[in-house]
């Protein structure tokens, strides 16, 4: 909205969680000689070559949602406080299941998800009754986490909690749990605060999700890009707060 309001043109590309496609997308966009490139990296390390190419072409890169491994190659990075997101959903789960036996659905190529899991694990020190049984790759999507969750239900019949690194992973897990006839028996927490996640809370399928502020991330990204174009200072790292959504405040 901020870009269109200025009469400028925004071209978007969806990497569909594919590092290879994202590198190809970035290469194609750089050929158009854009004034700036906004990037939500699939693989926080695997995108480095594309960042080097952008820097060589003098195209400023504004990273959104999840950091990259080499911040010197980008103009700035704007993301939620992902470690805090992991901490607050851990507390929410502990309040409901103090002795939870947990499986984690990860997306370990993504730095934001790494931080969420690190925050969750660090906060578990305050909840000694909780145990992580397994950490598996859920691929960040419902269709990726669904078969993984089915396997985890067979492998760990006594599991009673799931920490999914994002709402889509949680929704795939919830589907597997319901099909196994264990709906209501397993508490699921996640990160995103997406409309689908909120509906799952209303339906009693998702215990809690840590909400991000995607519109604010986008607004700040555009603001930093225009500041740079106009020769004004740019903040190198911007972290936005997160908030817990659960049954108590979901109607808000």
Strands 208-211 and 243-246: antiparallel
Mean pLDDT of the chain: 96
Burial class (CB in 10 A: 0-12, 13-18, 19+), 5: exposed
pLDDT tops 90 at residue 67: yes
pLDDT tops 90 at residue 17: no
pLDDT tops 90 at residue 1: no
| For residues 175-200, average pLDDT | 97
| For residues 127-137, average pLDDT | 98
- pLDDT attached to residue 42: 94
Q: How many residues are present in the chain?
A: 252
- pLDDT attached to residue 50: 97
- pLDDT attached to residue 9: 95
The CA-atom distances, in angstroms, between 186 and each of 119, 131, 136, 143 are 21, 14, 17, 19
CA–CA separation, 112 and 117 (whole Å): 9
Closest CA to 139 of 175, 174, 100, 113: 113
| For residues 30-44, average pLDDT | 96
| For residues 55-79, average pLDDT | 96
- pLDDT attached to residue 156: 98
CA–CA separation, 104 and 106 (whole Å): 6
Q: Which pLDDT tens digit goes with each residue over 184-196?
A: 999 999 999 999 9
Residue 238: HSE in the Cβ half-sphere, 13 Å Cα cutoff: 21
- Please tell me the chain's helix, strand, coil percentages from 3-state DSSP, rounded to the nearest 5: 45, 20, 40
- pLDDT attached to residue 145: 98
Closest CA to 173 of 197, 138, 212: 138
User: Which positions ≥6 away from 251 have C-beta within 8 Å?
Assistant: none
Provide, rounded to the nearest whole percent, the portion of the chain with pLDDT above 90.
97
- pLDDT attached to residue 138: 96
> In this structure, are residues 222 and 69 in contact, taking their beta carbons and an 8 Å threshold?
no
> In this structure, are residues 133 and 102 in contact, taking their beta carbons and an 8 Å threshold?
yes
> In this structure, are residues 172 and 142 in contact, taking their beta carbons and an 8 Å threshold?
yes
Q: Report residue 108 as tokens.
A: 């370990």
Q: What is the DSSP string of 93-157?
A: HHHH-TT-EEEEEE-TTSHHHHHHHHHHHHHGGG-TT-EEEEEEE-TTSHHHHHHHHHHHHHH-T
- pLDDT attached to residue 210: 98
Q: Which residues pair with 211 in a beta bridge?
A: 192, 243
SS3 category, 37: strand
pLDDT tops 90 at residue 99: yes
Q: Report residue 183 as tokens.
A: 């709906």
> In this structure, are residues 46 and 109 in contact, taking their beta carbons and an 8 Å threshold?
yes
pLDDT tops 90 at residue 2: no
- pLDDT attached to residue 197: 97
Q: Which pLDDT tens digit goes with each residue over 220-241?
A: 999 999 999 999 999 999 999 9
| Whole-structure pTM value | 0.91
Structure confidence at residue 252 as a pLDDT band (50, 70, 90): confident
């Amino acid at each position: 909205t901020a870009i269109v309001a200025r009469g400028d043109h925004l071209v978007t590309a969806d990497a569909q969680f594919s590092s290879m496609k994202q590198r190809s997308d970035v290469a194609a966009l750089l050929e158009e000689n854009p004034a700036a490139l906004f990037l939500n990296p699939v693989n926080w390390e695997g995108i480095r070559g594309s960042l080097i190419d952008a820097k060589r072409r003098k195209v400023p890169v504004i990273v959104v949602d999840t950091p990259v491994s080499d911040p010197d190659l980008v103009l700035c990075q704007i993301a939620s406080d992902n470690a805090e997101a992991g901490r607050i959903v851990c507390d929410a789960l502990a309040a409901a299941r103090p002795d939870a036996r947990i499986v984690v659905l990860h997306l370990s190529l993504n730095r934001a998800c790494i931080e969420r899991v690190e925050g969750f694990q660090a906060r578990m020190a305050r909840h000694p009754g909780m145990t992580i049984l397994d950490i598996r790759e859920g691929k960040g999507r419902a269709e990726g986490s669904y078969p993984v969750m089915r396997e985890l239900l067979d492998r760990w019949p006594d599991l009673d909690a799931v920490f999914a690194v994002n709402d889509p992973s949680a929704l795939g897990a919830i589907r597997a749990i319901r099909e196994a006839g264990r709906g209501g028996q397993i508490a699921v927490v996640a990160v995103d605060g997406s409309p689908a996640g909120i509906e799952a809370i209303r339906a009693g399928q998702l215990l809690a999700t840590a909400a991000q502020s995607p519109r604010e991330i986008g607004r700040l990204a555009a603001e930093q890009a225009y500041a740079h174009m106009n020769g004004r200072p740019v903040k190198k790292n911007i972290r936005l707060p997160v908030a817990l959504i659960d049954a108590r405040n979901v109607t808000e």
